[in-house]
Structure 1
């Protein structure tokens, strides 16, 4: 039962007495209010409380989930000198108890028991806290959340524990090349710029000192920097705006206003005298990258112009005549992105990020020569109003037809954006691009010159003469040599401005709905090798739609060679289509070819107006086999490099990959796939493509703003790629089946100091009851598992208990990555937690968990894409009534506490179906027990029965 503040009930009662009283009690918003999308049915109200805390209220009557986020304009760039990681450490500590709610785990338990989740992040300039929860419990959640910023305890008992959590996060990232590159970048930054400070924190930077403990410094930091006037709060709930305001005002008006000014950072990020600068560094992964950055002014206040978006779209374009097209033609680069990166009050960086081929890594000067030649061409051509208006039109369409998204993600983004957008533009600010300022666009292009460049080149062949402090990265720095213009006569001829975009939607009218509207997708066409499901959208009513096609073939799923070749084929096909289709992606359409368990999936989505043209061109190229030897070789090497780089992934992620390989019979490890790719030649791939299509069949879903005539059009296009005759039988999809009381231990070698234990506990079967019991178990144990093993025992930063179904076969996954304990100690802690769950569970808690899970299962789809995913998954599972969510919810509803306690004791304690994948780390100790130790995923699969996927 929800607890409601009696004072709020009294206010609601008084306001309900009469219409006149209601009008009097309503709080009329003061000042400009946010302009919303015509497609947005939320109601909004912008307030500024007496303490200058700006609040955006969002009312969505009937919403199942509520959410809130608070953004404070303080981040790691504000860390005190010598206290690296302070802002990040403070973010951790705020979750661990307040004066009103002193229990360190109470906030997390309350959120979890009422169907919610929570998190936070610390960036250089901001810290953002957010949660979601079942809508009825928003008042209580808002109260708990507010106390973070009113009266946190900063309990001394948790200081050392949370320092260890920060240290674990730091240790976990030691092999992240993104963090390693940032470490080097911060070392070459101007030390007077606050962004040059290390941001994560370590036990050393957060250690007590003779003159002050870390807690003293943290409390001082909080009391100095956390002020209501630099906070922004966004709250979304099912209550009316008046009710939301009545909830928020009395709570958040208590946050202290220290009247902090908005300070401009005068120090340059890179000392101008040091530019142009070349920095070379050695990554851990087999990767070759180049980032070319240019210090520029801070244009965030110019969001109606968006100069960074305009220039970034030009430099990052991938169509004909683009910089990327030229780089790819010369075999130098595999990807390119461009846009504003770091930004602060006083400046920003505009950056180009490139991944390079082996040939490109050997010719960094040529790459830079082409980059600067393209920028020079843009300056000579000057800003183009027609191109600006084209981008503006696309932005306007995106806002006009904005669809709802995750409530928690939405409020988090809004709270962050409120720091920069004017009141009327809080909702449309990211989309506004209406003020064409040629001088401002030209100004930005002036900064993109060789003399203003910071180049960071990453390659394993680099031998640096310096080592970075925190991540021990070998690097060197030297002045960037002068860059002569290209001497090739054809360079300026091949690199040019993009052509007008033929894919921009012109007709955004909604199709008429049929009188007999189907409630679920129906099979609108079926032949020997085709089945097409169709459903017009009657709920979201936007001029968008999806066409999903699954091309199934027996040439997938049997061997590692097949898996390698189909993945290589889809990569080459995507690469071939990219130059043509890139403008379609800019115009709000999307497409992807990807390997799946049974074949190749083509997903096409976005505005429906020009989709048929795009689909036609995609399918015309699908069966082509005339790939160039250079692109074949480059893409194959890139795929091999990506597989080799799995060693640089987070250790817990690598262990979960090994678990999935052991569970899924059409899954192979990195080394096997590497060998298969190395053995594949271009002629082999050509033969594979021909064989794939000879045996292929297609199942499609057409859902959205389409007339029924689209079914025949798609079918005709499919006829062009599918052979006639009956479709060949497909190999079955199989999942490992563990027996009751069976415990397998699978030790794996991960090159990292941390120990990792991934303990998979399979359900008793694959019935709806088994799925419901397992999902409910995950719901019940997840918050307690995190609280006990992470917060209380401090075993590591990565700690979680998850519902882990594979192909509808239910399972639990308990996962811990620990820098402080060996794998044996981790497994004992897991075991102790699991055996202690049922004695602590009360009937009311059980009911709350059950209600939370049912609410999550039945959560309404927020947009057309989510609904399409539900339909597509149902089709893949052969749930042709599309009622899987309702069936699952009913199965959960039927479970009693006694039912669940018995199932839990039998299946997850007494007769476990267990697979434990363990990376022992530097301590080298494995968990002890009655395990069958198996040395490979292949050996596990070879000796077991299987579940057959639907």
Structure 2
């Protein structure tokens, strides 16, 4: 359960209501209750959709997909943190936590979550600024009962008063976990520095200080009143999905949700602007918790979301963020002042207004040239105002999004449902799916209107770096900030600098083609080796479920070099950072044409990847490889990369404690491995000469491993091999295959790490690794975790309230499997937390034994069905084979073998494994503990 700002919510691809639904008369329904509209959906979309409105005015969208093995729901309520009463910040989020603590029909707290997990599902919720969302996914066979339980929370929640104080602590733990996260702090600062009359100025998450009784407003009773005031069927949007037919889904919707009370509430609207004249024209200085250097030029803009059909914001963001020669981004990168340059828009962030942001990652040398960077941005905006409102760009952008829409990759159905239920408040029903893909017409007036707002007198400039001077504490969060108004001298300086600059707008993108390329007939369902030569191997498979113009190819430079020393490990990281800097313009241009270029380090190797429309992949690969082989590291890029690497190291030390747990676990179980201190020390010895020599070694001492998936034939893959052989140096050594090394578990040989974290919270992880290299161990642990996780969460998080982050998971180290328990706590000492882990582990066998055989069988069938579920889109398809590729399993059969092992696993085998690993000690125990500063 989380509290989110709408600015940070990822809106997954939105979908439509298709014209394939039966008519209202065929279903015997009134015309006012159901609609089946001719709403655009991608030709690539085989799902069926229907929109209905229940008698209680609850709007529902149904999603039917016969290829999936799961069902689920997402319900959004049109109220969020902006509607919190000023006296009790965080009330909406607190209500979200309290809602799922039992109903009149199902009074047991967390019984819904337990039921969902026992049927191979999961559930969660979040509170945004303008809505609250509750969602779940479950095995298809248990959907009807799950809906009966889920819907009851919106009909007759008990709001169990016994848990009211415990949930205050849960909210407080969630707040504590985020109070040192820069993203959340900056989000808070956006409210603190806005007009006080806007609700963004108030704290949204809530904690033990804010969730208290106020004069005339006792917390519990005020929460109940808030529920009555806003939780009404006519202020809710629901999406259901499953493999069931639309008619079956409609029956379920009507049966379970028609009785939600309709209190005829009106959705609250925000009247007061956030970025008024009195808060613009200012510098905002913030010293971040993690080492980062950013310059954000933020313009106040009126809410123009109603202009979505012509997309003036996206039009300008595309131009501003271009990396083509002569653009602001390219000029500043060449000078070594910036290492990142993007544009983003949130036009309704504050309600009636929002912001258009130019986000700039600044190098250390760039900090000395912030005035020049600011002037460059304004000079480029002037260039766009003068020459950039051009129908040529519109036609190019329109062609790109139309091609993307025609071959739209369908999202995960749960993400789709979440997107539906939250977007239905604001997005026209007819455009749920194509909302982001419509460029209705070229509208220069709409573009000019936004451009007129992107001016100095309407800007705020954020300086986010460790060196800024700050003087004011941030309420409820770590860190400080400072505000200073623009001076006349600064305004004149920026204008003078801007007038001297010569910048250029981007040229037409020659990597994009609106024509459709040939789609190869799929015939290879499992990767086959098409090239096997000394020092090089290549594998190919086709997408049997989603044949299209898309392809994914990874060319790996397989070598042990990064693992030979800490210095090599650092140089390996630096090389990728430098190559990314040197290929920024090419990657940007390719990305805009629908082609992704990745510079990656899978399993400590180096790899170049290409994804998306495959027609230009051979050309792009040839260009990339040439630059990789001939790469020369210069002093400027070396310095920028080293800054980035050391910032990354510093950032790891300031990551959330629960994330640090797994970083240390990976270090304990990997061999060789180095501490961050050792890596930092190694970085001190690296010189420009050393890193150039190391790059040459990477090119010469390797084995080339190619994995191609999608729209390629054997000849195309062989051509990639030929290109590689032709461009690699003559001294290429053609190594044998190298696989990453891991520690082999030894029974009773405890591994421990006890450290400190800069956060206030403590964190603990305990793991138990089996010494048996057997896929069957993994199958049993997978089934065990499906029932253990929620029980562990219920006890430590809901009952004991040790913290917000509590969980369990499984892990695979080489061919060995382990079971992991972890928690992050604001209020429990490590010794106490460890004892709670032990007590639960020792007591759980009785609960495991009590699970009915029928429940276990249903769980197993649901898990198998989900693993067997066809990939939902192309980009869910090829990852099924990548782990086997990395592990050197040339049979690519782990998935099928795992299904067989799960099928053969009974409840007794799970109980026996639990007893041997966690009770009898027939495992390698591993413990990571982090002591917080509180």
Structure 2 residue 354 is the aligned partner of structure 1 residue 348: yes
Deviations 1:534-558 (A, max 9, x none): 2333431221111112111232222
Measured after TM superposition, the shift of residue 292 of structure 1 is 1.7
Larger deviation: 888-897 or 724-733?
A: 724-733
Structure 2 residue 880 is the aligned partner of structure 1 residue 859: no
Alignment of 1:156-195 (within 5 A): 156-195=161-200
Contact 1:115 1:855 in 2 (8 A): no
Contact 2:389 2:447 in 1 (8 A): yes
Structure 2 residue 663 is the aligned partner of structure 1 residue 657: yes
Structure 2 residue 856 is the aligned partner of structure 1 residue 849: no
CA gap 1:77/1:21 in 2 versus in 1, 3 angstroms: closer
State the distance in 2 between where 1:147 and 1:861 align: 32
Measured after TM superposition, the shift of residue 222 of structure 1 is 1.1
| Aligned residue number for residue 326 of structure 2 | 321
| Aligned residue number for residue 929 of structure 2 | 918
Deviations 1:468-527 (A, max 9, x none): 22114222112123423465699643x22111111113342443427xx33322111221
Q: Secondary structure at the match of 1:804?
A: strand
State the distance in 2 between where 1:715 and 1:246 align: 56
State the distance in 1 between where 2:415 and 2:909 align: 36
State the distance in 1 between where 2:576 and 2:465 align: 27
Contact 1:60 1:239 in 2 (8 A): yes
CA gap 1:592/1:774 in 2 versus in 1, 3 angstroms: same
State the distance in 1 between where 2:556 and 2:439 align: 38
Structure 2 residue 315 is the aligned partner of structure 1 residue 304: no
| Aligned residue number for residue 722 of structure 1 | 728
Structure 2 residue 751 is the aligned partner of structure 1 residue 744: yes
Contact 1:655 1:918 in 2 (8 A): yes
Q: Secondary structure at the match of 1:802?
A: strand
Q: Secondary structure at the match of 1:175?
A: coil
Which of 508, 511, 515 matches 2:516? 508
Contact 2:578 2:638 in 1 (8 A): yes
| Aligned residue number for residue 935 of structure 1 | none
Contact 2:274 2:350 in 1 (8 A): no
Q: Secondary structure at the match of 2:812?
A: coil
Contact 1:304 1:432 in 2 (8 A): yes
Measured after TM superposition, the shift of residue 800 of structure 1 is 0.6
- Residue ranges of structure 2 left out of the alignment (5+ in a row): 1-21
Aligned length: 902
Deviations 1:204-230 (A, max 9, x none): 100123533311111111111222223
| Aligned residue number for residue 532 of structure 1 | 538
CA gap 1:62/1:174 in 2 versus in 1, 3 angstroms: closer
CA gap 1:310/1:899 in 2 versus in 1, 3 angstroms: same
Alignment of 1:82-481 (within 5 A): 82-209=87-214, 211-341=216-346, 343-481=349-487
Contact 1:557 1:597 in 2 (8 A): no
Alignment of 1:721-870 (within 5 A): 721-722=727-728, 727-729=734-736, 733-841=740-848, 842=851, 843-870=853-880
State the distance in 1 between where 2:895 and 2:220 align: 48
Q: Secondary structure at the match of 1:720?
A: helix
State the distance in 2 between where 1:697 and 1:870 align: 23
State the distance in 2 between where 1:598 and 1:266 align: 53
| Aligned residue number for residue 943 of structure 1 | none
- CA RMSD in angstroms, aligned pairs only: 2.2
Contact 1:768 1:888 in 2 (8 A): yes
State the distance in 1 between where 2:374 and 2:525 align: 56
Q: Secondary structure at the match of 1:454?
A: strand
Measured after TM superposition, the shift of residue 598 of structure 1 is 4.8
Q: Secondary structure at the match of 2:813?
A: coil
- Residue ranges of structure 1 left out of the alignment (5+ in a row): 1-18, 924-950
Contact 2:525 2:544 in 1 (8 A): no
State the distance in 2 between where 1:588 and 1:20 align: 38
Measured after TM superposition, the shift of residue 24 of structure 1 is 5.2
Deviations 1:753-775 (A, max 9, x none): 21110111112312122222222
CA gap 1:34/1:666 in 2 versus in 1, 3 angstroms: farther
Contact 1:377 1:492 in 2 (8 A): no
Measured after TM superposition, the shift of residue 453 of structure 1 is 0.5
Measured after TM superposition, the shift of residue 731 of structure 1 is 5.6
Contact 1:388 1:436 in 2 (8 A): yes
Structure 2 residue 871 is the aligned partner of structure 1 residue 871: no
CA gap 1:386/1:319 in 2 versus in 1, 3 angstroms: same
CA gap 1:562/1:189 in 2 versus in 1, 3 angstroms: same
Structure 2 residue 594 is the aligned partner of structure 1 residue 588: yes
Measured after TM superposition, the shift of residue 855 of structure 1 is 3.0
Contact 2:36 2:50 in 1 (8 A): no
Measured after TM superposition, the shift of residue 597 of structure 1 is 3.2
| Aligned residue number for residue 926 of structure 1 | none
Q: Secondary structure at the match of 2:644?
A: helix
Larger deviation: 845-854 or 637-646?
A: 845-854
Contact 1:571 1:635 in 2 (8 A): yes
Contact 1:697 1:722 in 2 (8 A): no
CA gap 1:752/1:765 in 2 versus in 1, 3 angstroms: same
Measured after TM superposition, the shift of residue 819 of structure 1 is 0.7
Contact 1:184 1:473 in 2 (8 A): no
Measured after TM superposition, the shift of residue 720 of structure 1 is 2.9
Structure 2 residue 681 is the aligned partner of structure 1 residue 675: yes
Contact 2:282 2:483 in 1 (8 A): yes
Alignment of 1:541-690 (within 5 A): 541-690=547-696
Q: Secondary structure at the match of 2:264?
A: coil
State the distance in 2 between where 1:531 and 1:227 align: 61
State the distance in 2 between where 1:321 and 1:702 align: 35
Larger deviation: 225-234 or 829-838?
A: 225-234
State the distance in 2 between where 1:297 and 1:21 align: 41
Q: Secondary structure at the match of 1:667?
A: coil
State the distance in 1 between where 2:498 and 2:367 align: 24
CA gap 1:242/1:454 in 2 versus in 1, 3 angstroms: same
Measured after TM superposition, the shift of residue 914 of structure 1 is 0.6
State the distance in 2 between where 1:164 and 1:222 align: 20
Alignment of 1:1-40 (within 5 A): 23=26, 25=28, 29-30=34-35, 32-40=37-45
State the distance in 2 between where 1:892 and 1:427 align: 37
Q: Secondary structure at the match of 2:562?
A: coil
Q: Secondary structure at the match of 2:765?
A: strand
Deviations 1:103-140 (A, max 9, x none): 11211111111111111221211222211111122222
CA gap 1:548/1:20 in 2 versus in 1, 3 angstroms: closer
Contact 2:78 2:267 in 1 (8 A): no
Q: Secondary structure at the match of 1:440?
A: helix
State the distance in 1 between where 2:685 and 2:48 align: 59
Measured after TM superposition, the shift of residue 732 of structure 1 is 5.2
Q: Secondary structure at the match of 2:75?
A: strand
CA gap 1:489/1:152 in 2 versus in 1, 3 angstroms: closer
Deviations 1:432-481 (A, max 9, x none): 22222110011001111010011221222223222222114222112123
Measured after TM superposition, the shift of residue 82 of structure 1 is 1.7
CA gap 1:879/1:898 in 2 versus in 1, 3 angstroms: same
CA gap 1:39/1:455 in 2 versus in 1, 3 angstroms: same
Measured after TM superposition, the shift of residue 876 of structure 1 is 2.1
Larger deviation: 247-256 or 781-790?
A: 247-256
CA gap 1:186/1:884 in 2 versus in 1, 3 angstroms: same
Larger deviation: 194-203 or 327-336?
A: 327-336
Q: Secondary structure at the match of 1:590?
A: strand
